[in-house]
Amino acid sequence: MPNIELKNIHKSFGNNKVLKDISFKVEDGEYIILLGPSGCGKTTLLKTMAGLYKPDSGTVLQDGADVTDKQSQERNIGFFFQHYHLFPHMTVRQNVSYGLTIKGAKQEETEATVQEKLHLVGLQQWADKMPHELSGGMQQRVALARALAIGSKLLLLDEPLNALDAKIGTLLRKELKQMAKKYRLTVIHVTPNQEEAMELADRIILLKDGKIAQMGTDQEMYQHPTTSFSAYFIGASNFIKAEKIDQHTVRYRHKTFNVRQPVNEDIVILAIRCEKILFENHEHNTLEGVIETANFLGKTTRYEVNHKGRYLQVETSKHPELKPGCEVQLYLPPEDLIVFSPQQMLDDEITVI
C-alpha cells in the first residue's frame, strides 16, 4: 500500500546544493528516521517528498506512480510541520476538520472523524479552544490529529518532538510509535536527535551535507558504521590516527595495536566507541592515562582520560571507584576497532587524536 521511493534526487537553492543524488525506498508500514545534524538537508528532503519543493532532477514515486510533477495538494500525504503551524485563526476543531472540508466531505462524516482523531490524541475537551490557548504538547497533538484526519496512511513528520521539553518528548515518542504500528502507517520522521532515532526507527537514513552517509537498522549502524560520520553521529566514538605496520597491526604513539579489519593504507583512522574501551592492562592495544573528569550520567559514568595531552572518552558502569586523578590503563579490544581510510573523514567536527 503506501510506499514512497526517491530516485537520484538533486535540489539546489541558488548556488547552494542542498540535496545530492538521494535515492532510497520506503516500504509499506515502515517507520523511517531521517537523521542528521542541522543544515544537512533533512527538511528539504522531506518537503521534496511532499511536493512542496520540486527537485531539480530525479524522480519521486508514490505507490509506484511518478508524482514528481504532481501538485502537493493532490498527493494526499499527512505532513507534520516543525513548530506545528496550526492555523492561528481557527479553533482546534476547525484545524482538524480543514482537510476534510476541503475535500468536500459530508458534515456528519467530518464531525465523526474529528471526534475520532481528537479522541486519539486525547484532546476531545479542547475542540473549541484556539491554538494559542494550548500548551506546546497539546498543539503538537492537534497538529498530529490534523495531519491524520485526511486519512492518509503516509505520514511525514518534521522534527515533531523537538520543541517540547525532554519529559513530554520521551512520552510522546512512545505514543507515536504505538499509533504508527496500530494504524499501519508508513512514517518518515525527521530528527537531529540520535536517541530518538534509535528508539523509533525501523530503519535510519543518516544524512550528511545533502548526501546519504549510511542507511540501515539502528543495530547495523551502531555495530557496522560504514563511514566515520556514522561512527561519530550514532553513539559516541573516539578517533585515532595510526600508521600501518602490517595487514592487521598499526602503531599509535609508539604503541602497537592489533585490529581485526584489514589495513590497506599507510595512514588509517581507527574508531572505537566510548563504551567499548576497558580499564584493563594488556600487552597490546593499551594506553596509559590519568582520569581528568568523571561525569555521572545515571546508568553509566563518562570519563575523560588524558593520555599524554590527548583526550579519550570512556563510558562504563563497572568502576565506580575511579575518580579524577586516578592513573589508569585503557584497553582498546581489536574486534572493536573500526578502520577507516583518511579520505573518509568527511567531517570537520570530528576530533582525531
Partner 1 sequence: MFLGKSTANLSRLDMICLLSILIFTAIVFLPPVYVLSYAGGAKLVLNESSKIALINSFIISAAVTAVDVILGLPVAWMMARRKDLKYRYIIDTLIDMPLVVPTSVLGLSVFYFWGAGMGSLFGLDEGLLSKGPIMLALLHIVFTFPYIVRSIEAAISQINISHEQAATMLGAPPLTVFRTVSLPLFKSGLIAGAILVFTRSLSETGATMMVAGLFSTASTIVVDYKKAQDIPSAAAVSIVLIAVAVLLLISAKILSGGFRIPVIHVWPQTERKLSRRYVPYRDALISFLVILIVLLPTFYIVLSGLNVIRSQTIIELIRNQALMESLIISFIIGLVATGINLVLAIPLAYVISKNMFKAGGIVDTMSDIILLVPTSALGLSLSLFWKNFAFPELLILVLAHLSFTFPLMVKPISAALAGVETGIEDAACTLGANKVTIFKTITYPLIKPAIIAGIIMTFMRSLSETGATLSVSENIKTIPVLLVDIFTKGMVDDKTILACIVLFAASFAFIVALKIVESKKNAKH
Nearer to partner 1 (CB atom), residue 75 or residue 211: 75
State the amino acid at position 3 in one-letter form: N
User: Scanning residues 149 to 208, which ones bind partner 1 (CB under 8 A)?
Assistant: 150
Q: How far is CA 123 from CA 21, 70, 92, 126, 182, in A?
A: 42, 34, 9, 5, 19
Q: How far apart are CA 4 and CA 60, in angstroms?
A: 7
265's grid cell:
593504507
Residue 76 binds to partner 1 (criterion: CB under 8 A) = yes
Nearer to partner 1 (CB atom), residue 127 or residue 290: 127
The distance of closest approach from Cβ of residue 348 to partner 1 in the complex, given in angstroms and rounded to an integer, is 29
Q: How many residues bind partner 1 (CB under 8 A)?
A: 29
Cell 533533512 -> residue: 42
Residue 41 binds to partner 1 (criterion: CB under 8 A) = no
The distance of closest approach from Cβ of residue 63 to partner 1 in the complex, given in angstroms and rounded to an integer, is 17
Q: Which of 79, 233, 257, 340 binds partner 1 (CB under 8 A)?
A: 79
Q: Measure CA of the first residue to CA of the last residue in the chain; give whole Å.
A: 49
Nearer to partner 1 (CB atom), residue 188 or residue 328: 188
CB crowding 173-208: b at 16 or more within 10 Å, else e: beebbebbeeeebbbbbbbbbbebbbebbbbbbbbb
Residue 146 binds to partner 1 (criterion: CB under 8 A) = yes
Nearer to partner 1 (CB atom), residue 115 or residue 256: 115
Q: How far apart are CA 181 and CA 173, in angstroms?
A: 13
The residue among 280, 315, 307 whose CA lies nearest residue 291 is 307
Q: Which of 16, 64, 65, 74 binds partner 1 (CB under 8 A)?
A: 74
Nearer to partner 1 (CB atom), residue 72 or residue 258: 72
Binding positions for partner 1, rule: CB under 8 A: 47, 50, 52, 71-74, 76-79, 81-83, 85, 87-90, 94, 98-99, 101-104, 146-147, 150
